[in-house]
Amino acid sequence: MTAFFLSDVHLSRHRPERLEAFLSFLAGEARRAETVYILGDLFDLWLGDDDKTPPHPGVVDALAELRASGTTLYAMHGNHDFLMGAKFEQRTGCRLLPDPSVVKVQGKRVLISHGDALCTDDAEYQKWRAFIHNKDNQRVFLALPLFVRKSQAAKIRKQADERAELKPRDIMDVNQQAVEDAMRGAGVRLMVHGHTHRPAVHRFDLDGERAARIVLDDWYEGDTLLRWDAGGYHLGPLADLNAMPAQPENVSN
């Protein structure tokens, strides 16, 4: 059976063409899959399960329809939608997974993650990540009226964008040692993640065994995702997934 992995879709009313592409995917290819994994940043901004800002309601309904069709849905928090909670799960039928998690795909154990926790060279970001994932801090923020949350989020994003422009590009990528430590700790030789917007398949040796890290792309310009079926996997644009042969993944289980 087929599984799809995607990340960093960043759905927003300001990018209607990407929204249309995603909804078409849910109504089409996704319904022929056994499982869909969304590895963070599905939404460009999700400020709580009471945030009904368009296109949130339509996307929630489309996910629920996909789940009702028989496809199993899993999602993971990203750094833009870390406030998705229990009501999101109830309304969509999508189960929220811890970051990282180990799943089984075509008989292979795979470590999945949004990917931002692996960017350990960016110490400033890791402090911020720890702050926003703190449950007490989240409860305080979610207790604010939605309009206040929106105002604060706009200020935070502006400041984050300004700081990011001053950082060396390399420190915003994942740290290879962090990758290897995570894979070793989980006992896997395959990882799939997003966040960095640098799609690629990285192959390397891990403790004398073949290993691979598959990086998903963002959806700012296209609709890249990972399809994985009995023949192997293919990473590429949605329109090309059925036209190009899959690559068998020959790494240790």
Q: Are 198 and 238 in contact (CB under 8 A)?
A: no
Q: Which stretches of the chain are DSSP H helices?
A: 16-27, 56-68, 86-92, 123-132, 135-142, 146-166, 176-186
Determine the pLDDT at residue 19.
96
Domains of the chain: 3-240 (3.60.21.10)
Q: 229 φ, ψ to 5°?
A: -135, -165
3-state secondary structure of 221: coil
Give 130-168 pLDDT, tens digit per residue. 999 999 999 999 999 999 999 999 999 999 888 878 788
β-strands 108-113, 101-105 pairing: antiparallel
User: pLDDT confidence of 253, banded at 50, 70, 90?
Assistant: low
User: pLDDT confidence of 252, banded at 50, 70, 90?
Assistant: low
Provide the whole-model pTM: 0.94
Give 178-211 pLDDT, tens digit per residue. 999 999 999 999 999 999 999 999 999 999 999 9
Return d(Cα 75, Cα 4) in angstroms, integer: 12
Contact residues for 215 (Cβ-Cβ < 8 A; gap 6+) = 115, 193, 194, 196, 198, 199, 200, 201, 202
Determine the pLDDT at residue 153.
96
User: pLDDT confidence of 74, banded at 50, 70, 90?
Assistant: very high
Return d(Cα 102, Cα 100) in angstroms, integer: 7
Give 100-124 pLDDT, tens digit per residue. 999 999 999 999 999 999 999 999 9
